[in-house]
Structures are given as C-alpha cells and as structure tokens.
Amino acid sequence: MHTLVLLLYACFLLLSRTFWGDFMLAERPKNTEFTWCESRKKLRKRIKFGEKWYDIYGDSDKEIKSKIKAMEKSYEEGLSFQENPTVAQYILRWFPVKSAGLSYGHVATLRSIVNNHIAPSIGSLRLREVKPLNIQSMLAARQSLSHSHLSKILVYARQIFDSAIDNGYILRNPCDRITAAGQPPNKRGILTDEQVEHLLNAVSDTRAYPFCVLAIYTGMRREEILGLQLDCVHLNERAPYIDVKRALHFEGNKGIVNDTLKSEASYRSIPIPNLLYSILLDITLSSDSDYVVPSADGTHMSQMAYKRLWEQVTRRVPFYVTPHMLRHTYITKLCDSGMDIKKIQYLAGHSSVELTLDIYAHTVNNRPDELSRDITNIFSGVNSGGNHGSESA
C-alpha cells in the first residue's frame, strides 16, 4: 500500500512538471531582444524590406534571427520571399495564362498531364522545396508510359518552374539537365486490303459504317469525323470534296462541337474518292440529321454513344483495330502511291513536312520498285574491269 501511494505521488509530480513546463514555454522568455506578442504567445520582430514592413515570429531569439537571415538572402537574390506557394497553388495561377490561345486539344492534354501526373506527384511541395530528385522520382514512377508521354510531362513541368523563376519565386529550375526515358513507341499499325474489306463488310449494316469509310477514305481524325456536318460535304462540285473545319470534343460524357481543330494545318479540303461518293450521297438524301455520323437521336454524339458505336466494330472483326489505325492506313496508302510529300502533309493535316516524315519515313520513297530502280541507277557504271587498286584514306 505504501509503495502504491509513492508511485501515485511520483506520477502526479511528473504530470505537474510537464504541465507547468509547457505553460512556461508560452510565457515571455527572459533576456530577449525582441517584442513579446501576447496573442500569439511568440516573440516578434518587425523588419522592413523595400517599401514593406514584415512581422517575423518565433519561439526564441535564435529562431527569429535565422528567419531574418533567410529573408535577407532571398531579398538580395530578388526572390518573392514573402510567399512560397505549393506547386499546386502556383499551377492554379499558371494554368489560365498558359492555356490562353491554345487549341482545345492542347488544353485538354495540358490539363490531363497536370491533373494525372504533376499535381499528384509534387503538388503538395512548396516551390522552393522541389529538387531534381523529386522530378526524377515523378518520371521514374511512370516508366511504363511511352517516351513521348514522359517527354510531355517533363516539358510542362519545366514550363511551370520557368514561370516561377520569371516571377521571382525560385532561382533554379529543378527540371534542368533531366531527360525523359519511357517506352519506345509502338509501331503504327495499318490494315491490309483484306482487313479493310473484311471490316467494311462486317459493319455495313451498322451505324459504324459511315464512320469507318470516312476514316479509311479520307484519313480524317476521330474528332473531325464526329464533328462533320452535311454543309461541309460538297458533292455537286466538279471535284467533290470535304471541308474539315469542325471537331467534336468530349468533356466527360458531353460532346461539344466547335471550330477549334488540332492545329491550323488541320483546316483542309479533302477530295472524295468514288468509293466514298455514293455512300455520302445516300446519307445526304436519306438523313434527317445535320451530322454525317450522328447519334441515335440525330444530334452529335456523346462519349458513351461513340463508345457504343465503336463496339459495333470491335465485336465484329477478329483483329485488333482502332480509329487511328484507319487514319494511318489512309496516309500510308498515299505514301505508297509515290504522292508528293507536301501533298501528303496537307491531306493528313500535319503541321509540318517534318512531322509527316518522322511518322512515315519508313514508307515514303521506300517501295521495292523505287529502291530497286535507285540502286540500279547508282551502280549502273560499275563493271568488273574497274580500278580495284585505289583505296580511300
């Protein structure tokens, strides 16, 4: 019993000491050179930088002096030291400025990369806390993505921190000297003539048929086909053509049609081949909708309606196919035909010849008959009686 009383008394003393010790911490320290702020229970020092006064708080003289020293250094380096927002907070300011004037597709790509990659990885860090290692970790966690996708993530992250430098928040960009790795791009698949025939026969009695023939015979992008209206289909001209000037974009399930295309080069006029002419003529004469590929109620498609349409394709063909593969099939056929590369660039809606060559370099001017003719011409002057004795240094 005596032992229990002593134990309880010892606990009381320990708890009392802890309580009063914490209480004393909230009182003004002795021998301080700074002002005591009763409302915050902290020491305070007012200091002027430029034309503004700032209150610096701390629990000790040492803490306040350390904060003053850091602020003086920041002021000398031109940093906006009074504010150090998180990356997510800064993105909220940067995004509207960056996205102004961009096409709908570019804004959607930017929003996706910020929301799905940059903000989740480093959004909670303060701008000045972000180090190259944080950027490397963000990219390393996404190595399963393509090199192109990782490069976009790095480009936009670099632009965010470049903006922070320009606005005086940081001195160096943590993305400098960092490169993107990622997976090599998949080979762009195309359909054989037999697969094209099989696909069109398989969907000939479905609402997916007009979509597929437009993709195969015009090379239009998915959003361009879904936004195509009858006023852009010119069948009565001497050379019938399609004006590409609208696109349908999805925001969630909602479809939005506007005249904002992927780039200026996307606005183009595409000739209508004979195989497509009769199909478009039937649609023009029989359809009550303004759209060439409408939803069931005659309006433009929602995302869900489009998914149901494309499922009609994937359920009926035994091979893998995507809308973009139909576009690649069209452009590859143009390349195989020997058409001038500038004309191919125009019909594809690419922003530059370099882009067309980068994607289709393996096809352009690489047909066996052309290669054979070139090799024959190059070596036509070589014969067995030539000079075999000379060597190059």
What pLDDT, on the 0 to 100 scale, is given for residue 79? 53
- The mean pLDDT value for 307-332 works out to 93
- The mean pLDDT value for 114-134 works out to 94
pLDDT higher than threshold 90 for residue 318: yes
Each as own residue / partner, the long-range contacts of residues 134-140 (CB below 8 Å, 24 or more positions apart, any chain) are 134/174, 135/174, 135/175, 135/178, 136/178, 139/178, 139/180, 139/181
DSSP characters over 239-299: S-EEEE--EEEEETTEEEEES--SSGGG-EEEE--HHHHHHHHHHHHH--SSBSS--TTSS
- The mean pLDDT value for 362-373 works out to 62
How many C-beta atoms surround the C-beta of residue 300 within 10 A? 22
Can you tell me the distance from the alpha carbon of 244 to that of 352, in angstroms, rounded to the nearest whole number? 18
Name the DSSP class of 8.
H
Q: What pLDDT digit, counting tens, does each position of 140-174 carry?
A: 999 888 888 899 999 999 999 999 988 888 888 99
Mean per-residue pLDDT over the chain, rounded: 83
- The mean pLDDT value for 61-82 works out to 70
pLDDT higher than threshold 60 for residue 361: yes
pLDDT higher at 114 or 24 = 114
Segment among 18-27, 80-89, 292-301 with least mean pLDDT: 18-27
- Residue of 295, 328, 325 lying closest to 210 (CA atoms): 295
What pLDDT, on the 0 to 100 scale, is given for residue 19? 43
- The mean pLDDT value for 362-382 works out to 64
- The mean pLDDT value for 337-346 works out to 89
Half-sphere exposure of 223 (CA within 13 A, CB side): 21
Structural domains in the chain plus CATH codes: 26-81 (no CATH), 87-166 (1.10.150), 200-320 (1.10.443.10)
**Facing residues of 255 across strands?**
250
What pLDDT, on the 0 to 100 scale, is given for residue 50? 64
Q: pLDDT category, 18, cuts 50, 70, 90? A: very low
CA 4 to each of CA 1, 9, 15, 161: distance values in angstroms, whole numbers, following the listed order: 5, 9, 17, 64
pLDDT higher at 279 or 338 = 279
